[in-house]
A and B are shown apart, each in its own frame.
Chain A
């Protein structure tokens, strides 16, 4: 802004007074001549209070910088804004944009500020800002590579991030800054594998390619011991699809035929990677498909590589550039693993409309795929190609025929005959190419082919293509004894035209002359001398040299002669037949799909694909203290999503969601949403979706049985839900009995889980659900064969923390008539890691809140596990949906390290299950947290007699009555348990009741005081009917669902 006055005059003319003029876009400087006063406007825009103006100004600056425009005079304005204000802006998009601008300023003095900003942004709450931080890392690195160490720290931190948004960008930064620091990946390996499917396409490519390299350093080759692999129980255990894919052809076993050592067992992490990448073969992005294909090619057991063929073949339908790259890779793969593409042979047939470069690549693949069985078809195809109008392609076809002939002995004669016929083709190029190929073929069995050599000799009269002439001459020279009469005559003709020949032909004439001189000196001596003399004065020094050299060798001179005695051996030594091989052979030492592979040369920055290690490195490095990150991720996401994109739809589309792809994940997400998202509110739902997706990939292939069982259960629940839900808010909360489902799945956990399940009502699942996820992960990672990881211990620690909270409320679980039953164990509000040592949990105490009867009282339990006292704990500005209000707890002045304390706050949820979002502030930090009540906590018990109950119930019929039939499981048929289950689910009081198989409960909602009456009519054999009467239909519906769920568990 210091520069502003200098331009103020100009500005006055341009824009209206007082209003920042931002009409012309400096970003489009390409068209508008750049004008310095515009920078003024940008400065002014940066200083306004309007977010949109700031954002636009910054966008333009980025655009200017991107085109190499000098924006350094904007430096102070930007830094001032960026560093001081916008990086602190409450709007995450502004923070991100500010960082993007800052990091795009390529001025060395900015490095320290940039470093600070990146560090700050890397721990931002918003994943989008963290993503931007990841993007900024390579920028800073290219500006000042001395910052590497510090940047690696940031990368390490960001690698630990659990959001899909960040994953791709940080791995990209990792690849640019420190690809050698493979150790940074260990702890994040499993997470990356699991997030992969939800990362955007570009990130997927980068991650997959990095993980390929990683896997090559950490796991053992799955193909080292093929016979043992067959017996590997792993294979039977995992997917059946792989099994259908038929094994590769009879190629040689991989060169790494190591002596049999201990039986190979695939590392579960290795398997995880293969399993989680496989669905991506269905991606619409060719780059992703290729990335997965190369991963499988480099990492998968032979028997499984086949799955990629179909996807690669599909890509051949794409743009020709894509075809070009894919075909190059297929060409390389088809040499090593021919069997895999054989079924798709016809997909490589060539059309006349293909561009030549594609035709030639397809030809390469066809040739690689040709074998004893399919060669007739392939040759018939080749025959049509030879008649193509595209001569380059015809030449390539002839080469291909030659290769087929050398590789497949059976058809050698057929091919040779075909090629000889081509010698009478009108097109010289075709003839020439044929000659060259015939020459190579003849070398393999010259004796039988005197006739062909004669035929070729005749061609020297007509054929002009140097390469072909040279080939014929060489053949005649080499096999002159087969054509003793013709050879001298050919030499005579060549001697005549010698001076007019091309250099390669001349060299071959000299060769022919020398060979004839040695075998038939009587007839050719003079001719030879003539040729050598001509050559001696040739313009080309190679030819002169050759002539001199040859003369010395073959013509015995006075002095030496030692060499000339051996001349015949030198010239007419039997030569091995050339091997016609693909130019793609052995290209697979480059990572497939890479630029280097395509160019067959190392590109700048190419990371070598390491060989498999002999001994597997310690697999335990990838073990993560599981509870940490699952919990943490929940917390982070919950706080961060400011806008719940998924919430509306998910809230209402419970059935669809629950019917979603993966049964396991569904049941979990349901159970979570029951507590978090019951009324279509916000903040947390999108996380569910995120998580769910993430998990759906993780747990994909756990035991089939469990899956099926759960699927059934899930369906019943979903149906029940559909019937019941008629309310507007939709109140998803199918809150399926997934808790037990999930737990029953993992044996280790059984003991603990049952113990707490008894006490914990279903409505409080968010924290336990998080645990279960981690259990699933573990189970996933740890098939029985591997002992390194020991899930039970880890599990029990994580559960132990939870149980701690539960024991406090243990005593009051005895059902009683009216005394409130503390419904819920403590749930986490803020994890200690995220809270920088401050851990916060909450519980619904079910005590009336002193001061305001409409409020739900919530006990907040703080504990300080950091090393410093935490000061000034209080509630910051809450962001509350309409109607919801909070009675804050009194500020806690200081919480010493290791200590914990409890405070009570009141929340008026306004009879809805919307979450209350607020900030927890300490003197130094603010944490966004949210509390979402289960519907059962929105009411308080009331006492009434049976008669009163019936009377009230009579008033609340029709729309206000919700009935649901259910079957009580055996475990749930005695009074005690039924009452307990209902009262833990909802804060209701029992109404005394005459008949033994009828249970009645009553309560009032806290805010409006509407009656909630619940009747459970238990009939013999477990059939039961649940009725809820309430003015609040929404609450009634949700309550029915929760209770049904609790009871049918």
Chain B
């Protein structure tokens, strides 16, 4: 299936290659570079590029292209999903996934990749098993390895591969047993010029950090499970139980993992916690445009809106902007024409605003297009959909774990058209 993998940085250097079958020459990447050139932007490089003898499937993350080379028919999502899993694994191992980090840990990277695929077919992709096979680097171990010359390859046999719960490693022990769950909801919305909602939906996830000894069997129940319109689970969740009782029952993986993603559909009214008032105008006669935006709270259930940032891609005709914010800081990049305003917390008594003028190219006619405003914000201790966890129970182990649930609402792809 997957023949080889090339890692290419944004300047077009192949800085790592790995082959699971015979070696494929680097020159195959030339086709990729061609496509990259044609696409102008990284995100527009087609994920699938046919070449005379191979197919190149790539994902772009953390400013690195992960290019897989395949030779025969295979579902493209299979490869793409795998590549993303590789990136996730690197992130899991090294904290961040970047070129320098990969280069620093090249040994572990090779070892991990070796275990992830066998002859091009995925073998061990669960991070819990991988970590049993190949220990993630720590400063101490790196030092020890350098001195003693040993490797990160675990000396224990990877018994996890034989398990019926392959996502959990065995023999887990903690002195403090804790299970934390974050319910994070993101609002995806498009607001039109007049402030009415064109589309809005909530995408939620429950991320868990579970550090429990032994083989705990957890159940998590909701006050209002019917809210969840569409769900997808970590493989550990017992699907049938959810179907019949709307309860999440699972033996968790050890450590951090995403338990559940869900969707609250647009059909239910989605509360929009912020509004943006804007007036952006260009005049034909003058080379100055007026720009004013104000951000204010709306349906916040009494919670504060924090971490607000406003970004907007201005039309090419805009040369510069001179703006004064009532709070926070703003920047305008005259090259990329990107305006960003870091607002911070919204104080309902004194709404933050950004006012000023835009200088346009002299003589040029006014731009046709109006910029779209992208909004970021955070609301702590609130799940905007109203989802509430009822209780978390543990079976199978005797001790009492610490349990914690945190709610948060964030802006997802939140756009205001002007």
Stretch of A439-447, A643-651, A737-745, A1007-1015 at the chain-chain interface: A643-651
Q: A347-368 interface mask toward B, CB cutoff 8 Å, 1 = contact, 0 = none?
A: 1010111011100000000000
The answer on a CB contact under 8 Å between A286 and B121 is no
Residues of A within 8 A of B21 (CB): 142
| Residue interface bits B13-51, CB-to-A below 8 A is 1, else 0 | 000001111110000000000000001010110111010
Say yes or no: A135-B59 contact (C-beta < 8 A), given A655-B395, A689-B164.
Answer: no
Known contacts A388-B369, A661-B239, A645 near B155 by CB under 8 Å: no
A424 → chain B closest CB, angstroms: 11
Indicate which residue in A92, A169, A353, A690 contacts B121 across the interface (CB closer than 8 Å): A169
A646→B151 contact, CB < 8 A:
no
- Is A575 an interface residue when CB atoms closer than 8 A count as contact? no
Q: Is the CB of B162 within 8 A of A68?
A: no
A738 to chain B, nearest CB (A): 17
Rounded to whole angstroms, the CA-CA distance of A92 and B157 in the bound complex is: 10
Cα-based distance from A336 to B337 in the complex (angstroms): 42
Q: Is A925 an interface residue (CB 8 A)?
A: no
Task: Give chain A nearest CB distance to B349 CB in angstroms.
Answer: 32
A207 within 8 A of B: no
Could you tell me the distance between the alpha carbons of A351 and B188 in the complex, rounded to whole angstroms?
Answer: 10
Give the distance to chain B from A921, nearest Cβ to Cβ, in Å: 24
B413 contacts A595, C-beta separation under 8 Å: no
Q: How far is the CB of A118 from chain B (nearest CB, A)?
A: 13
Contact among B83, B114, B229 for A27, CB-based, below 8 A: B114
Given A595-B55, A649-B215; A286-B77 close (CB under 8 Å): yes
- Which residue of chain B has the shortest Cβ distance to A607 in the bound complex? B73
Near B by CB (< 8 A), chain A positions 282-310 give 282-287, 289-291, 310
**Is the Cβ of A352 less than 8 Å from the Cβ of B415?**
yes
Identify which of A205, A326, A389, A604 contacts B73 (C-beta below 8 A): A604
Please tell me if the beta carbons of B81 and A135 are within 8 angstroms of each other in the complex: no
B72 touching A603, Cβ below 8 Å: yes
In the complex where A209-B75, A314-B232 touch, is A653 in contact with B217 (Cβ < 8 A)? yes
B40 to chain A, nearest CB (A): 9
Mask: chain B, 244-261; 1 = CB below 8 Å from A; 0 = not: 100001010000001001
CB-defined contacts of B361 to chain A, threshold 8 Å = none
- CB of B244 within 8 A of CB of A661, answer yes
**Closest chain B residue to A198, Cβ basis:** B164
Alpha-carbon gap, A200 to B244, bound state (A): 23
Given the interface pairs A282-B239, A349-B199, the reply to whether A25 lies near B151 with Cβ below 8 Å is yes
Check B230 against A649 for contact (C-beta < 8 Å): no
Binds B, one of A316-324, A891-899, A906-914, A1040-1048: A316-324
- Whether A52 contacts B155 in the complex (CB less than 8 A), given A28-B106, A661-B239, comes out as yes
Contact B81 A285 (CB under 8 A): yes
CB of A407 within 8 Å of the partner chain: no
Q: Give complex CA distance A314, B231 in Å.
A: 9
Q: Give the distance to chain A from B253, nearest Cβ to Cβ, in Å.
A: 12
Kindly state whether residue B127 has any CB partner on chain A within 8 Å: no
Considering only residues 177-209 of chain B, those with a C-beta below 8 Å from chain A are 188, 190, 192, 198-199, 201, 203
Contact of B219 with A656 in the complex, beta carbons under 8 Å: yes
Residues from chain A with a CB closer than 8 A to the CB of B369 are 387-389
Q: How far is the CB of A26 from chain B (nearest CB, A)?
A: 10
Chain A residue with the shortest CB-CB distance to B87: A319
Residue of B nearest to A346 (CB): B199
Mark out the residues of chain A between 152 and 181 whose CB falls within 8 Å of any chain B CB in the assembled complex. Answer: 165, 169, 172
Contact across chains for A290 and B77 when beta carbons are under 8 A apart = yes
Is B11's CB within 8 Å of the partner chain A? no
Of the listed stretches A56-64, A799-807, A948-956, name the one at the interface; the rest are far from the partner chain: A56-64
Across-interface contacts of B122 in A (CB, < 8 A): 200, 202
State A631–B269 Cα separation when bound (angstroms).
Answer: 54
CB distance from B208 to the nearest CB of A (A): 13
**Minimum CB–CB distance for B49 against chain A, Å:** 9
In the complex, the answer to whether B44 meets A349 with C-beta atoms within 8 Å is no
Distance from B10 Cβ to chain A, minimum over Cβ atoms (Å): 16
Known contacts A601-B50, A646-B215; A656 and B249 CB within 8 A of each other: yes
At the interface, yes or no: A652 with Cβ under 8 Å from chain B? yes
Establish whether residues A319 and B59, one from each chain, have CB atoms under 8 Å apart when the complex forms. yes
Does residue A886 face the partner (Cβ distance < 8 Å to B)? no
Please state if A661 and B238 are interface contacts (CB–CB under 8 Å): yes
Given contacts A286-B77, A427-B368, A656-B396, contact A317 B235 (CB under 8 A): no
Give A953 to B374 CA distance when docked, in angstroms. 79
Do the beta carbons of A346 and B198 come within 8 Å of each other?
yes
- In the complex, which residues of chain B have a beta carbon less than 8 angstroms from the beta carbon of A30? 106, 110
Check if A599 is an interface residue, CB within 8 A of chain B.
yes
Report the bound CA distance from A606 to B71 in whole Å: 11
Check A538 for interface membership: any CB of B closer than 8 A: no
| Contact partners of B163 in chain A: CB under 8 A | 643, 645, 686
Query: When the two chains form the complex, which single residue of B121, B157, B230, B242 contacts A135, counting CB atoms closer than 8 Å?
Result: B121
Can you add 14 more A-B contacts, CB < 8 Å, to A135-B119, A322-B77, A356-B41? A27-B114, A28-B111, A128-B162, A172-B1, A284-B233, A287-B75, A314-B230, A320-B43, A321-B59, A321-B83, A325-B76, A351-B190, A352-B415, A650-B396
23 chain-A/chain-B pairs, Cβ below 8 angstroms: A56-B151, A92-B162, A93-B161, A202-B121, A289-B232, A310-B230, A313-B230, A314-B263, A317-B261, A319-B59, A319-B80, A321-B80, A321-B84, A322-B80, A346-B266, A426-B368, A599-B55, A603-B73, A604-B72, A604-B73, A606-B73, A646-B164, A649-B216
Question: Which A residues fall within an 8 A CB radius of B?
Answer: 23-25, 27-28, 30-31, 51-52, 55-56, 59, 62-63, 66-68, 91-94, 100, 103-104, 106, 126-128, 135, 138-139, 142, 165, 169, 172, 197, 200-202, 205, 209, 279, 282-287, 289-291, 310-311, 313-314, 317, 319-322, 324-326, 346-347, 349, 351-353, 355-357, 381, 384, 387-389, 425-427, 593-596, 598-599, 601, 603-607, 641-643, 645-646, 648-650, 652-653, 655-657, 659-663, 686, 689-690, 696, 700
Chain B contact residues, CB within 8 Å of chain A: 1, 18-23, 39, 41, 43-44, 46-48, 50, 55, 58-61, 70-78, 80-84, 106-107, 110-111, 114, 118-119, 121-123, 125, 148-151, 153, 155-159, 161-166, 170, 188, 190, 192, 198-199, 201, 203, 214-217, 219, 229-235, 238-244, 249, 251, 258, 261, 263, 266, 313, 315-316, 365, 368-370, 372, 374, 395-397, 413, 415, 417
- Of all A-B residue pairs in the complex, the 5 with the closest CB atoms, nearest first, are A661-B240, A23-B149, A605-B72, A649-B396, A649-B215
